[in-house]
Amino acid sequence: MYAAETWTLALSDRKRIEAFEMWIWRRMERISWTDKVFNEEVLQRVKGERQMLNAIQIRKRRWIGHLLRHEGLLTDLWEEG
């Protein structure tokens, strides 16, 4: 998630991130890809929820807040729009 603050996420990117996160959960629980286990069941087993997209959104909000506190082109563009 290096430099996730600057990523532009399309719908396909979001799906890939969610799929990668579920792959990680499945690997941690040693669930084979051939086993018929739904994503919701995997999340129940680990007592967790999907977190990567939320973490990226939080980082983006912090980054834009940081940029808006300083004088510069982005502040000028933000105030005009």
**Res 30: pLDDT:** 92
pTM of the predicted model over 0.95: no
Low-confidence stretches of the chain (pLDDT < 50) are none
Domain span including residue 76: 51-81
Count structural domains, the chain.
2
Q: Considering the domain boundaries, does residue 1 fall inside one?
A: no
**Res 75: pLDDT:** 62
71 and 43 in a common domain = no
Residue 61 to residue 80: CA distance in whole angstroms: 20
**Res 61: pLDDT:** 79
57 and 43 in a common domain = no
Residue 11 and residue 19 in contact, taking contact as beta carbons nearer than 8 Å: no
81 and 65 in a common domain = yes
**Res 80: pLDDT:** 62
